[in-house]
């Protein structure tokens, strides 16, 4: 069990805290718990636990069943499926079995799932109104024990996707009339060391192409 949060988690939680307090809510952290669940706090007098999931490249690879074989000092051009609805569904389902344990450890009344983008690097994808609509529909369609599902984006801020009392709906489908929606990203893998380091892309270190197949197994990239 970790004794401190990752930088991306800490940034997402701070963005959430600011969004809640700016809306007039009273938030007070329990500083004794920082993992399993990642954030425990009093919210308008109710004790809430929140578990975080970062939607980044290693997470997408894990969900799709890939081992992360990217190596230090290498540069990668990655093609991956744009599936925000399935990212929400998979995140909810992958954490659902742990809800009872989180509630017991935190002694809380509510449990939230906080999905978030990267904050220490450029986000893997943008957060348009269409993206949020897909995520909200997926959260409403995926039944679980979570009392609320949020998505926190470095550019779009904290967005409530679903909460107890909201209606459920049918699971959304992507428009694939022009092919399966696909995004690209270019990322370097580097471990920073004392005294600094150097990373460059050129003939000596050509970019390696990597394709992550869709979570929707009916399709291929």
Spatial CB neighbours of 184, under 8 Å, sequence gap ≥ 6: 77, 78, 79, 80
The whole-number pLDDT of residue 146 equals: 98
Q: How far is residue 212's CA from residue 192's CA, in Å, rounded to a whole number?
A: 26
What are 111-170's pLDDT values in tens digits? 999 999 999 888 999 999 999 999 999 999 999 999 999 999 999 999 999 999 999 999
What are 9-31's pLDDT values in tens digits? 999 999 999 999 999 999 999 99
Please report the beta strands in the chain, taking only residues with DSSP state E, as ranges in sequence order. 27-29, 39-43, 46-54, 75-81, 110-116, 148-153, 157-163, 182-188, 208-212
Q: How confident is the model at residue 205 (pLDDT cuts 50, 70, 90)?
A: low
What are 165-200's pLDDT values in tens digits? 999 999 999 999 999 999 999 876 655 455 555 555
Helix (H) or strand (E) holding 135: helix 129-141
Exposure class string for 52-62: b at 16+ Cβ within 10 A, else e = bbbbbbebbbe
* Mean predicted confidence (pLDDT) in 207-212: 88
Whole-structure pTM over 0.85, yes or no?
yes
- Would you state the structure tokens that stand for residue 208, as one six-digit string? 């390696």
The whole-number pLDDT of residue 193 equals: 52
DSSP annotation of 207 reads P
* Mean predicted confidence (pLDDT) in 65-86: 85
SS (H, E, C) 167-187: CCCCCCCCCCECECCEEEEEE
Spatial CB neighbours of 10, under 8 Å, sequence gap ≥ 6: none
């Amino acid at each position: 069990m970790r004794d401190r949060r990752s930088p991306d988690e800490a940034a997402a939680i701070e963005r959430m805290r600011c969004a809640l307090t700016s809306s007039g809510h009273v938030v007070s952290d329990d500083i004794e718990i920082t993992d399993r669940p990642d954030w425990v706090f009093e919210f308008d007098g109710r004790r809430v636990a929140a578990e975080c999931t970062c939607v980044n490249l290693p997470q997408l690879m894990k969900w799709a069943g890939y081992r992360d074989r990217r190596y230090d000092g290498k540069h990668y051009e990655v093609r991956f499926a744009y599936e925000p609805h399935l990212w929400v569904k998979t995140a909810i389902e992958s954490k659902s079995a742990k809800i009872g344990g989180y509630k017991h450890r935190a002694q809380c009344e509510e449990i939230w799932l906080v999905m978030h983008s990267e904050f220490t690097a450029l986000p893997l994808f943008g957060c348009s109104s269409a993206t949020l609509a897909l995520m909200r529909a997926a959260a409403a369609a995926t039944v679980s024990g979570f009392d609320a599902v949020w998505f926190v984006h470095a550019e779009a801020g904290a967005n409530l996707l679903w909460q107890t009392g909201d209606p459920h709906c049918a699971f959304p489908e992507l428009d694939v009339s022009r092919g399966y929606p696909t995004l690209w990203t270019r990322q370097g893998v580097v471990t920073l060391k004392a005294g600094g380091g150097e990373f460059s892309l050129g003939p000596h270190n050509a970019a390696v192409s990597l394709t992550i197949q869709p979570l929707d197994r009916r399709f291929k990239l």
